[in-house]
Chains A and B, each alone.
Chain A
């Protein structure tokens, strides 16, 4: 066996070992990742694996009970519930991932700058965040989306911006701890401009805490976008979005056609649960403060 092959073999083994190590330390996180993998596969391969077109109505076959060709039954428009549940995974990721990216892009620089600058700007930003906390996030999101109009773009933007204080706070706390460290002082003495110190010297050291939050924030994004759709202000039917499907299913629950609302709800729970489980493990693994508290 050539040396390169040996190294490759070791690399693969190492990867497996790391996997088993993480699974051992945090089975929750591994289970969460597994759930997400299933949903990701569902989202990517939805066009090939959905038995029916998720948005094809069939007036002659409405509210068919689960079984037969329609494993999860059909909804009030005769659309196949299973196909819609599968297609919903794509919408959930499609909102959560960009929303978290918006949250990080808005929150991380803000946290960097407020933490580094301090002073009145920092003070006002933090007081503003405090004031936001007086209101439940769903009320804030609902108010802004209702005012701005219920488009996918608006929903993503609003969720992202409402998320940004979380990232800003985490990064700011790290920056406060790093601001007077030797390497930052050295970078400043060497005449680096502020933006360079912030992004090149401080950010790589402060980013871990923010990364630990991403999965939990994604879980929140999936939840809140579904809630908005459930209230009728988010994504609108017949788009196969889980919250909108639950809204449709709500009226049939008290008349016995449970499958319309139950299946998308279960999918929603599982996905949010997967993200929360992953997030819990990530926080334990990446957040130095939490690690110290639990060990």
Chain B
């Protein structure tokens, strides 16, 4: 089957999921027993604002009409306005998403770059000292509170050693962001050949990225080890040994067969890392989507929460699609590998 058609089918499966999530967040506001107008307009709203919200939500109509109105507005890209900032939610999400993606992207990249080789090495000689140490480190990574790690990093590298800048966003406050190209200040700064911006972006990135990478690496180590052990114990590796294939070729075979499950795992792990990244953003005042979502939830900014939840769902869906695509391209059993 051509790859485009296959992807289309996956996307078609995703649409109902997004619809259900929309319905879910809609109902959550209506069923919570609280006044939806109050929730959406916020505690500081004036009478005029409340009347405006009431009219725009068609609150005098039956529930399904209300949902229809809401759904129609979401389709047009109108997610309502945040009462904290008094700005359209969609605009804020689009504006803040690159910050989160930059932090998470580098974090996952480095976490996987550390975790996969460690997990593979541990599996190649199970129960030896390297394996023991890496298993313990992985358990430690599972156990360290994300935000505490961030705080300690700031204490050590900013307060004590003064190697790192304070945890105050993505860029030195005196600098302007580079022209938008990829959304990553580091890469965009390099593209614009603005070394000062690139350098500042890099220095701001180091600590939070290390935190995300450490938290991301722990499950990757554990799972890569488990996957590699399973592959190494498989019939085909045992048979390859029985055929006297040189160890180098056996390693290559094990590596190739571990690739798809490891990537699939990392894909599912990224969704969970959104929570981790949010906490890191909170500690480092990163100003990304995660921090936005956390403060929206804590302060009960409901329009913002709805938008945030939708953005999260969309993000997960994109990640799952990317993983699917990878599997399709690398697995002969998926039917279209070259």
Contact = CB atoms under 8 A, between A and B. Distances in A.
A254 B158 contact: yes
B44 interface: no
B262 to A, nearest CB: 16
Interface in B146-169: 146-148, 151-152, 154-155, 158-159, 166
Interface string B45-61: 00000000000000000
A294 B229 contact: yes
Contacts of A147: 28, 32, 300
B143 to A, nearest CB: 4
Nearest to B218: A276
Contacts of A139: 274-275, 278, 293, 297, 312
A138 B143 contact: no
A78 interface: no
Nearest to B316: A134
B298 interface: yes
User: Which of A246, A256, A265 lies at the interface centre, i.e. has the most chain B CB atoms within 10 A of its CB?
Assistant: A265
A21 B71 CA distance: 61
Contact of B309 (A135, A250, A261): A135
Interface in A115-141: 131, 133-139
Contacts of B316: 134-135
Given A146-B300, A226-B145, A138 B278 contact: yes
A269 interface: yes
A142 B151 contact: no
A137 B276 CA distance: 10
B159 A223 contact: no
A126 B21 CA distance: 15
A272 B149 CA distance: 14
A243 B145 CA distance: 9
A254 B17 CA distance: 44
Given A231-B282, A254-B159, A269-B145, A146 B139 contact: no
A28 B137 CA distance: 12
B293 to A, nearest CB: 7
B151 A261 contact: yes
Given A246-B148, A254-B158, A231 B21 contact: no
Contacts of B268: 133
A28 B136 contact: yes
A255 B160 CA distance: 10
Contact of B155 (A138, A219, A232, A254): A254
B143 A253 contact: no
Interface string B9-27: 0000000010011001000
A268 interface: yes
B325 interface: no
Given A253-B155, A254-B158, A269-B144, A28 B274 contact: no
A138 B278 CA distance: 10
Given A136-B272, A268-B145, A273 B155 contact: no
Given A28-B136, A139-B275, A293-B229, A276 B142 contact: yes
A265 B305 contact: no
A52 interface: no
B279 interface: yes
Contact of B147 (A134, A135, A246, A255): A246
A231 B294 contact: yes
A138 B279 contact: yes
A293 B226 contact: yes
B274 A136 contact: yes
Interface string B309-338: 100110011000000000000000000000
B170 interface: no
Interface in B219-253: 226, 229-230, 233
The listed residue with most A CB atoms (<10 A of its CB), out of B20, B148, B305, B313, is B148
B139 A273 contact: yes
Interface in A127-183: 131, 133-139, 142-143, 146-147
Given A143-B305, A273-B140, A133 B229 contact: no
Top 8 nearest A-B pairs (CB, nearest first) are A136-B275, A138-B275, A272-B143, A273-B143, A265-B148, A134-B316, A253-B155, A136-B274
22 contacts: A131-B17, A134-B21, A134-B313, A136-B273, A137-B272, A137-B275, A139-B275, A143-B305, A147-B32, A223-B143, A231-B298, A233-B298, A249-B151, A261-B148, A261-B151, A265-B151, A268-B145, A269-B148, A273-B139, A276-B139, A280-B135, A293-B233
Interface of A: 28, 131, 133-139, 142-143, 146-147, 219, 223, 226-227, 230-233, 243, 246, 249-250, 253-256, 258, 261-262, 265, 268-269, 272-273, 276-277, 280, 293-294
Interface of B: 17, 20-21, 24, 28, 32, 126, 135-136, 139-140, 142-148, 151-152, 154-155, 158-159, 166, 226, 229-230, 233, 268, 271-276, 278-279, 282-283, 293-294, 297-298, 300, 305, 309, 312-313, 316-317
